[in-house]
Amino acid sequence: MIRSATLALQPPLPQISDNNRLRLFSGSANTKLSQEVARYLGMDLGPMVRKRFADGEIYVQIQESIRGCDVYLVQPTCYPVNDHLMELLIMIDACHRASARQITAVIPYYGYARADRKTAGRESITAKLVANLITQAGANRVLAMDLHSAQIQGYFDIPFDHVYSSPVLIDYLSSKQLSDIVVVSPDVGGVARARAFAKKLNDAPLAIIDKRRQAHNVAEVMNVIGDVAGKTAVLVDDMIDTAGTICEGARLLRAEGARQVYACATHAVFSPPACERLAAGLFEEVIVTNTIPVPIEHHFPQLTVLSVANIIGETIWRIHEDSSVSSMFR
């Protein structure tokens, strides 16, 4: 089910400031989200040509003057990640060479974020590599939503605005008037995210799923830290990829006596066999956002997709107006 979530945000007034300097362009990764952001801002997406040469090379041309303008390029680096990342870099370079005053890369989903540190020898930290590429291409600022690791902000030597989908997710959950909610982190690494979510959800109690592997090739031992018996468990994560972790967590919560299990995540990566796993009856509802487009073939009865266009649009406006972004989430 596709739903549009509307926050208590007022669309900006066109007469404020130098609105004629604001330009919004969309890459090919998620044009529908870009159109929703443009609608919130009361403007049209800028005209741009995107095409491929016979050998697969990407061509981009901005088809209006952007000299002296503040340009915002909306492009999540989702599947196919390399194509969408390269397209973003080319868009940034085109705007830089067209003498844009400021170029902001709006990246609702930041790909390569999971490789944010070395866990073994001779590995690349690709989250940092992508940050370098975006900066060197000519971006002056980055806006991203729900990074896999907050430390990625520090990989950039340019201003970085990190925003969250939690207001949309929490508004939707609150509208359902669920009782006896406990917010659950699917692993120890997501505790800070789940704790912040629980605090905003009327200070709901927190539970943690602890996974431990006793030896190589030995199945993980999973335990629930916290009381979930007879409660409505809400599993909170930043993304759902193959859905293995979150489905294992749901099975354990059911075994521990949870009355209902919901899944909440910002980024619906949905690599196979995620949809089959999520549709298997473990969840009352799987709630995600549209930072990544969810094609119709990935829909299943329990799925709800909420729009984060208003949050992104409001953030763009506040950046343009030099006003506070963090105050949106207090």
| Catalytic machinery residues | 211
Contact present, 312 and 39 (Cβ < 8 Å) = no
Question: Between 309-320 and 31-41, two packed helices, what is the crossing angle to 10 degrees?
Answer: 50
Return the H-helix or E-strand segment holding 207: strand 206-213
CA atoms of 262 and 174, how far apart (whole Å) = 13
Cβ atoms of 45 and 38 within 8 Å: the answer is yes
Query: Do 232 and 245 meet the contact criterion of CB atoms below 8 Å apart?
Result: no
Angle between helices 166-175 and 309-320 (to 10 degrees): 140
Dihedral of alpha carbons 172, 278, 185, 327, sign: negative
- Structural element, H or E, at residue 225: strand 220-225
Buried b (16+ CB within 10 A) or exposed e, 33-71: bbbbbbebbebebbebeeeeeeeeebebebeeebeebbb
Is-contact 317 143, C-beta < 8 A?
no
> How far is it, in rounded angstroms, from Cα 314 to Cα 210?
37
Contact predicate 181/232, CB 8 Å: yes
